[in-house]
Amino acid sequence: MKQEIKPVHGMWASRWVFILAATGSAVGLGNIWRFPYITGENGGGAFVLLYLLCIAVVGIPIMAAEVMLGRKGGLSPINSMRKVAADSKVTQRWAGIGYLGALSAFLILSFYSAVASWALYYAWEAVRGVFEGITATQSEAHFNDMLANPGLLLGYHTLFMVLTMVVVARGVKGGLEKAVQILMPLLFVLLLVLVGYAATTPGFKEGISFLFAFDFSKLTGKAIIVAVGQAFFTLSLGMGAIMAYGAYMPKTVKDKKTGRSRPVSIMSTVAIIALLDTLVALGAGVAMFPLLFSNGLEVSQGPGMMFVTLPLAFGQMPGGLLFGSLFFVLVVCAAWSSSISLGEPVVAWLVERGLKRPMAALVVGLGAWLLGVGSVLSFNVWKDHTFLVGTFFDNMEFLSTTVMLPLGGLLIAIFAGWVMKETQARKELAMQNFKLYLVWRALVRIFSPVAVIALFVYSIWATFA
């Protein structure tokens, strides 16, 4: 007899709700804050092209693999991996993917909250009208003043972590989908408003050509691994967030015409999520780079980019007070739905180990908060304490995003392509188009692992040669 797994953590109501939740996870600070600033630091066009390629040929197939593994396992990533490994009669060591993911989630959550707290503060500042008529120099000074104030930042970091963990403690199902359904389209509209404004500024042409002129001589070894890491980060891959959400995805859907149930296709679902995520990232880039050139600001100014440029736009455009306030509130919401998905895999695992959900959320939240204090202080008290790649914050960001996520993704691809029973993968993916299935299989077996390894090796070689 086949045993049905019982959904301990609940199920999404439909495929559509899964898409909303996974889009909520994907779209966040990675698109609006991180993508523009690392693009600026890594020379623009060629970096963007490489990033887009990574999304298409590495990100999408691995995302499908994660959803497939999660749905097959039906549990937290650690236990889903255990279960799928047992079903395929291979060693339980593959659960290590889940443990690595849990560690990545924890590290990312810590600095993610630190940055989200800047957006939280900026939402408040926007409402107060602080950005009205602001100049470039004032905007930079405003950002630096905020960073120099650890007490203020700690307060907002605490608030953001509490917001995140309250939702995770109550179970991520209820409410999240409704929120995402309203907030994401609004975010799109506001990005369009910003792009419209950017188009009226004198630096528009220069901004666009910085983003889309492919000058490969600018591509350094480090830029290459950063692009790979960003592809994973922005799609929430390589650490089990999408696997955890995949576990709550229904296996079948009622066909509207025939009334019979048919399997839910994973591939088309994943393509929609990746497309939406990419649109938001490119929109943010198109909105911000023209402002840099129009105002004589540095393209490689780092993590402050969105916080320095956008107030300039809101300070000058008609209706800027309303748009600016709304925009920063939406950024906070986008970051919120992402950080929830960072907490969920670890909390779900603790719940399976017998902890009550609120207790599990408290433990994870406290731990990530404490680690996050290191990131908060990296911009003031510990600014000059640098080691390895930079400050404590720089190291957290680099280690988790650029090293651990691609490593996790690589292991997931190898597991899905080589280790797991082929028939199981095919059945779970339930693709109607067999040719497309073969493409997916070739990508996760050969192309994605080879690409990740080759880009890694090449960038290390290019850095040290």
Footprint of ligand PFF (CB under 6 A): 25-26, 28-31, 105, 108, 233-234, 236, 239, 241, 338, 341-342
| Between 25 and 201, CB nearer to Na ion | 25
Q: Taking CB within 5 to 8 Å according to partner kind, which of ligand PFF, Na ion, none is near residue 20?
A: none
| Between 201 and 401, CB nearer to ligand PFF | 401
Q: How far is the CB of 226 from ligand PFF (least distance, A)?
A: 14
| Between 276 and 425, CB nearer to Na ion | 276
Within positions 267 to 326, which residues make up the interface with Na ion, using CB under 5 A?
277
| Between 234 and 459, CB nearer to ligand PFF | 234
Residue 339 touching Na ion (CB under 5 A):
no
Q: How far is the CB of 281 from ligand PFF (least distance, A)?
A: 8
Other C-beta atoms lying within 10 Å of the C-beta of residue 178: 11
Residue 26 touching Na ion (CB under 5 A):
yes
Other C-beta atoms lying within 10 Å of the C-beta of residue 226: 24
> Which residue from 139, 234, 341, 375 is in contact with Na ion, where contact means CB under 5 A?
234
Contact call for residues 221 and 459 (beta carbons, < 8 A): yes
Q: Taking CB within 5 to 8 Å according to partner kind, which of Na ion, ligand PFF, none is near residue 25?
A: ligand PFF
Strand 261-263 relative to strand 252-254: parallel, antiparallel, unpaired? antiparallel
User: What's the CA gap between 370 and 16, in Å, rounded?
Assistant: 36
Contact call for residues 387 and 91 (beta carbons, < 8 A): no
Q: How far is the CB of 341 from ligand PFF (least distance, A)?
A: 5
Contact call for residues 33 and 234 (beta carbons, < 8 A): no
Q: How far is the CB of 26 from Na ion (least distance, A)?
A: 5
Structure tokens at 426: 């095919």
| Between 25 and 375, CB nearer to ligand PFF | 25
Residue 23 touching Na ion (CB under 5 A):
no
Close Cβ partners of 211 (under 8 Å, ≥ 6 residues apart): 39, 44, 45, 48, 282, 285, 286, 289
Closest residue to ligand PFF in the complex (CB)? 30
| Between 105 and 225, CB nearer to ligand PFF | 105
Q: Taking CB within 5 to 8 Å according to partner kind, which of Na ion, ligand PFF, none is near residue 79?
A: none
Other C-beta atoms lying within 10 Å of the C-beta of residue 323: 20
Q: How far is the CB of 344 from ligand PFF (least distance, A)?
A: 9
Contact call for residues 35 and 284 (beta carbons, < 8 A): yes
Q: Which alpha helices (DSSP H) does 295-319 contain, by range?
A: 305-316
Within positions 241 to 270, which residues make up the interface with Na ion, using CB under 5 A?
none
Q: How far is the CB of 10 from Na ion (least distance, A)?
A: 24
Question: Dihedrals φ, ψ of 387, to 5°?
Answer: -150, 160
User: What's the CA gap between 223 and 437, in Å, rounded?
Assistant: 32
Structure tokens at 107: 């590290």
Contact call for residues 337 and 180 (beta carbons, < 8 A): yes
Q: Taking CB within 5 to 8 Å according to partner kind, which of Na ion, ligand PFF, none is near residue 344?
A: none
Residue 31 touching Na ion (CB under 5 A):
yes
> Which residue from 30, 61, 365, 409 is in contact with Na ion, where contact means CB under 5 A?
30
Q: How far is the CB of 48 from ligand PFF (least distance, A)?
A: 16
Q: How far is the CB of 21 from Na ion (least distance, A)?
A: 14
Q: Could you please report the per-residue DSSP string of 25-41? A: HHSSHIIIIIHHHHHHH
Q: How far is the CB of 76 from ligand PFF (least distance, A)?
A: 13
| Between 28 and 36, CB nearer to ligand PFF | 28
Contact call for residues 133 and 315 (beta carbons, < 8 A): yes
| Between 26 and 191, CB nearer to ligand PFF | 26
Task: Kindly provide the b/e burial profile for residues 417-442, where b requires at least 16 CB atoms within 10 angstroms of the residue's own CB.
Answer: beebeeeebeebbbbeeeeebeebbe
Strand partners, 254: 261
Residue 40 touching Na ion (CB under 5 A):
no
Strand partners, 438: none
The interface region with Na ion, picked from 226-234, 265-273, 406-414, 449-457 by CB under 5 A, is 226-234
Question: Dihedrals φ, ψ of 237, to 5°?
Answer: -105, 160
Q: Taking CB within 5 to 8 Å according to partner kind, which of Na ion, ligand PFF, none is near residue 195?
A: none
Q: Taking CB within 5 to 8 Å according to partner kind, which of Na ion, ligand PFF, none is near residue 338?
A: ligand PFF
Closest by CA position to 334, among listed 123, 89, 39, 154? 123
Q: How far is the CB of 234 from Na ion (least distance, A)?
A: 3
Contact call for residues 292 and 203 (beta carbons, < 8 A): yes
Residues contributing to the site for Na ion (CB under 5 A): 26, 30-31, 234, 277
